[in-house]
Structure 1
């Protein structure tokens, strides 16, 4: 489902072209964006007799066969928004309908979409990642957990302080809810996790894949519609080639986020958030970083003895503060740790 893009520089539409919502208590200020194929238009409006500004999202159904799915998406988004209370999820305000259209009213956040903003440096992208992960932690703590299902640049708003806001819950589902096969195609290609494309159950790790793909778009300054250019013939992101300017540890973190096998990703947003916190996103590889990068892709049995010799010779037996005797095992399983920090204890595994 495409987000109604907020474009502050969009040419103003004459006031007489806007619908009249005065009976509902709102006055349209401007059009923020529209999705013609989806039959959706988003407006910025004032609440009458108030200084409050809101976003009014219109669901207009031009085709009879689109009514049922459109109504369900509208109802689902309202139901989910009504149960959420997070400062960086625009809250539900109101809803109403007129013949042929439904309207959802939400809190307005004065922040542009990532789909419209200029490039960010890696440090700023990390801050955006942390901000979105905090929202996902909140969603995943709901009972039952909520899976957004459509995380991409257009559905993330970011203000000048790099606070991120997550919008468009039209595809969101509670974990464990059955999803009709026809709904799979409504996600955004390139951002959908592989398990969703093939009809497997969604987990707390599913939104992490979409967030990882979003961050890779930001790091490579790639538009969402061109994400296919970042995926190789094996349907994977080649991060070594795409983002050579980031630190190895940040690259490892991203690789785990976009693992095609959901069981090899971080198990949930809380673990991914904790892992990302201490990671420096820029910097050259150290000798031990290069060693790990060479060891990890190979078979463990073949290189176990070699790794032991190299590590003991170069670094000594006290390389890490993990449990005694586990140095080589921890090194080989570096990408399975929440945060591979050589100056601190190894974190717990992701629970995969």
Structure 2
């Protein structure tokens, strides 16, 4: 543990900007990037003094939560595992250190705002973002054992102006295994947490898909993460399809499968979800067949009408086959009788 005073809250710290002084470990804070007061986290943009490389420093305050540092030690071990990852769209973890009451992560900086900021994307761009994140998840799930992010949400996805996508904040959910109540800091955000995690069931490769699906639905409906509950019904199922009539049935069905509460009804893994999404047309074509298929998908009564229609066609076929010239009157009477039998009068 580094034994130096960071002077948190001291007005003399780092000139007049009130930022902590990290010069003892080789970093100088440039500005604050974000703050989660409830979670006890602050994120800074900083320079590495020797190389002038920009980095992200994440500060975790545990002083007011627990004096037991075993959870932080486990988190350090998790970071060491994540440092072995090598993916161009996963910002690398560069270093970590701790001080009395605080723990710090040093991470590669990417000049890209998060999806948590107010931004609008075309549905085709949302699809591109989805494929990029799924590609990252495929990479993570290929590890043995598979790495589950556990905290996918708009704030943890960075997208630059060229639609380069980065996934950040790995390994935090590991802290939920400890008895100390740190899960609210790292285990995810309500609405994005898969149901199996909320109920203490085992996580699978389908768990991150739920969180990604919820994130995509927020983007497509222009819903802020804190308002995600507005997209759910009383059974905590996402009810978004009527809000997105301009999207193709295939894309809406894909999204629906991503956020199925039962993980066994989702795609089994990121590779399956990626393969299914790639050929899908995002926008509805406007063809009559799209509306017909959509109606059949959402209205169970249409299925009964379809069966009745088949009955009519069968009746028509039979009458045409036995039709003889001069039997028009009898044939028409028989057809009228058959139709009446097929659709009994509604009283």
Q: Secondary structure at the match of 1:29?
A: strand
Higher mean C-alpha deviation, range 70-79 or range 197-206? 70-79
Matches of 2:41 and 2:67 in 1, distance apart? 12
Matches of 2:156 and 2:167 in 1, distance apart? 6
Higher mean C-alpha deviation, range 221-230 or range 58-67? 58-67
Q: Secondary structure at the match of 1:165?
A: strand
Q: Secondary structure at the match of 1:44?
A: strand
Matches of 1:76 and 1:307 in 2, distance apart? 64
TM-superposed CA distance for 1:68, in Å, is 4.2
Instruction: Check 1:212–1:73 CA distance in 2 against 1; reply closer, same or farther (3 A cut).
Output: farther
CA-to-partner distance for each residue in 1:285-341, whole Å, 9 max, x for gaps?
Answer: 544434444445688xx869939959x99xxxxxxxxxxxxxxxxxxxxxxxxxxxx
TM-score normalised per structure 2: 0.76
Matches of 1:29 and 1:73 in 2, distance apart? 29
Matches of 1:171 and 1:93 in 2, distance apart? 16
2:269 match: 268
Check if 1:32 corresponds to 2:22: no
1:103 match: 104
Matches of 1:70 and 1:179 in 2, distance apart? 9
Instruction: Check 1:46–1:183 CA distance in 2 against 1; reply closer, same or farther (3 A cut).
Output: closer
Instruction: Check 1:78–1:61 CA distance in 2 against 1; reply closer, same or farther (3 A cut).
Output: same
Higher mean C-alpha deviation, range 96-105 or range 196-205? 96-105
Contact 1:61 1:67 in 2 (8 A): no
Gaps of 5+ in 2: 1-13, 315-347
Matches of 1:160 and 1:54 in 2, distance apart? 20
Contact 1:295 1:303 in 2 (8 A): no
2:86 match: 85
TM-score normalised per structure 1: 0.75
Check if 1:283 corresponds to 2:284: yes
What does 1:37-48 correspond to in 2, within 5 Å?
37-48=38-49
TM-superposed CA distance for 1:17, in Å, is 1.4
Gaps of 5+ in 1: 1-12, 314-352
1:134 match: 135
Higher mean C-alpha deviation, range 21-30 or range 211-220? 21-30
TM-superposed CA distance for 1:180, in Å, is 5.7
Question: Over alpha carbons, which structure has the higher Rg?
Answer: 2
Matches of 1:76 and 1:167 in 2, distance apart? 18
Q: Secondary structure at the match of 1:200?
A: coil
Check if 1:225 corresponds to 2:229: no
What does 1:29-68 correspond to in 2, within 5 Å?
29-65=30-66, 67-68=68-69
Contact 1:184 1:197 in 2 (8 A): no
What does 1:110-129 correspond to in 2, within 5 Å?
110-129=111-130
Q: CA RMSD in A?
A: 3.0
Check if 1:200 corresponds to 2:198: no
Matches of 2:304 and 2:126 in 1, distance apart? 35
Q: What is the count of residue pairs matched by the alignment?
A: 296
What does 1:140-289 correspond to in 2, within 5 Å?
140-172=141-173, 179=177, 186-289=187-290
Matches of 2:35 and 2:117 in 1, distance apart? 14
Matches of 2:207 and 2:178 in 1, distance apart? 17
Q: Secondary structure at the match of 2:214?
A: helix
